[in-house]
Structure 1
Amino acid sequence: MPLRDSDAGALTKYFGKVAGKDEYKYGGIECRQRSTPPYIDEAQKALIRAVDAYRDPEMVCEELRSWVDRLERRAVDSNELVITNRVSKKKEDYTQSTRSVAALERAAELGLARAPGQSVSYVVVDDAKQSRERVLLASEDLNEYDVGFYRELLVRAAASVLSPLGWRESDIEQELGQYIESSLQSFG
């Protein structure tokens, strides 16, 4: 697979169907990363099956549309969007205001402090914020999520799948945009 920002190959990123079997192998892509939410994991595996079935980026984007549509209609259970990251240092030792830091701050506020080596699980609810209000912990009442943030994760996962076919995130966004335009035209 090409690296995200170039055409050079990434030796640690791959996916493929096992010869003679109905199973796939994955390496280095989102569905193999511990921090990937279950919804994105499932979507990426479905997109890989679509690549195998059609070998056509437009058809893969059709599959992606159904995953994006569910997300945008808020038909996805927030528990399917939980991100889990392992804490590598104490909360006060972080210098950047990341989502994980926001989750650590939120956990500390609720008396659930996390030490290095432990995990913190959260859902992004407003990624535009820089404070602990940008996330909710998985242990809290999860009833909302940042559609734009998770849509971006979906498109990035799709780009990992479509990059061997020469498609990038911009191509995928363009294809998704055409779908929206044709849907609006057929509606009017």
Structure 2
Amino acid sequence: MSCFGYQGFSNAKFGRIECHESINAFAREILLDAKAALEDGGWRVLHGIVDSIGVTPAPDVPEPERRPLDAIAAAVSEAARIELEYEDAFDWVAFCPRRDGDGGALTRYFGRRRDVAYPASGLGDAVKVRGIEARQDDTPPWIARLQAALIRTLDETHDAAAVVGTLRRWLGRVADGAVDPEALIVEQRVSKHVEQYRHETVTVAALKRATWKDCALAPGQQVRYVVVDDDATGLGRVRLAHESLSGYDGDWYRAEAIRAAESVLSPLGMDRGEIRERLSGTTAATLDSYQS
């Protein structure tokens, strides 16, 4: 049984913060020991978290002098008495920056597996995805497919402008009303009773609409809805998935699409503002740009 994070959860039935801290202490020491072993073997650590380490060849170590990763994994496993295995080789990995500051977010990244073919559509096993919208349970299917298309474009072209071009084509479809509303359904788990929510989000509007339709949802259940008019107030903002779906709020889904695109383009230094500028064909100018 795994209970790493649960031990520190405030509502855990059998949690204990001291146990959580001890697990973290052991994990940190094992991670540091593994980092040292990898660096001694001729590798540079790019990413490290509780259950994984990402590395790349150290630039100053010739390939014949680098120790094989499976051999290092076996040595670390024997020393730590916890099995560490070499997972896969990647052509590239993109780490998304944290939304609230500089540096990469340890839990948000995607990478192209080497020598793994793409399926007819989507990403399949060709790309490992963690933390971004395509991996999140509440992402509408259309947004997840869009993000997969953006990642494939990035892999094929290594060009931010090409990714924006793919995004523009997909946004054209949603603006024209050509997307099936079934593909735009948002599905979220209810965490508390509707009267306990303080902010009037679209999810709260969906919960209130469910209550109005005599199908109130309890914590732990799923609410499924389509945003039809985010500028409306009350129950008119959404339609539940089991109602007749004939339309959607194109502007709301456009914003969600740009948010998903930011996850793909942010490792290249492009934020939502710049994405919108490129979509509109404008650029942001500063006073310095007008100085002779």
* Aligned partner of 2:230 among 119, 127, 151: 127
Report if the CA contact (8 A) 1:83-1:122 is conserved: yes
* Aligned partner of 2:171 among 68, 74, 78: 68
Q: Which residue of 1 aligns with 2:40?
A: none
Q: Which has the higher contact order (CA 8 A, sep 6+)?
A: 1
What are the superposed Cα offsets for residues 74-111 of structure 1, whole Å, 9 maximum, x if unpaired? 00000110000100111111121111111111111111
Deviation at 1:7, TM superposition (A): 2.7
Query: Aligned partners of 2:133, 2:99: CA distance in 1, in Å?
Result: 12
Q: Which residue of 1 aligns with 2:280?
A: 177
Query: Aligned partners of 1:5, 1:169: CA distance in 2, in Å?
Result: 14
More helix by percentage: 1
Query: Aligned partners of 1:5, 1:174: CA distance in 2, in Å?
Result: 21
- 1:12 corresponds to 2:115: no
User: What percentage of residue pairs aligned between the two structures are identical?
Assistant: 47
Query: Aligned partners of 2:158, 2:235: CA distance in 1, in Å?
Result: 43
Matches within 5 A, 1:39-188: 39-178=142-281
Amino acid aligned to 1:2: P
TM-score by length of 1: 0.92
Q: Which residue of 2 aligns with 1:29?
A: 132
SS at match of 1:12: strand
TM-score by length of 2: 0.60
Deviation at 1:5, TM superposition (A): 4.1
Query: Aligned partners of 1:156, 1:91: CA distance in 2, in Å?
Result: 27
Report if the CA contact (8 A) 1:83-1:123 is conserved: yes
Q: Which residue of 2 aligns with 1:2?
A: 97
More strand by percentage: 2
Report if the CA contact (8 A) 1:89-1:115 is conserved: yes
Runs of 4+ with deviation above 6 angstroms:
none
SS at match of 1:10: strand
User: Highest CA radius of gyration, 1 or 2?
Assistant: 2
Query: Aligned partners of 2:238, 2:99: CA distance in 1, in Å?
Result: 27
Alignment RMSD (CA, Å): 1.1
What are the superposed Cα offsets for residues 153-185 of structure 1, whole Å, 9 maximum, x if unpaired? 111101100011111111111111019xxxxxx
Amino acid aligned to 1:107: A
Aligned length: 179
Segments of 5+ residues of structure 1 without an aligned counterpart are 180-188
Query: Aligned partners of 2:240, 2:265: CA distance in 1, in Å?
Result: 32
Report if the CA contact (8 A) 1:97-1:130 is conserved: no
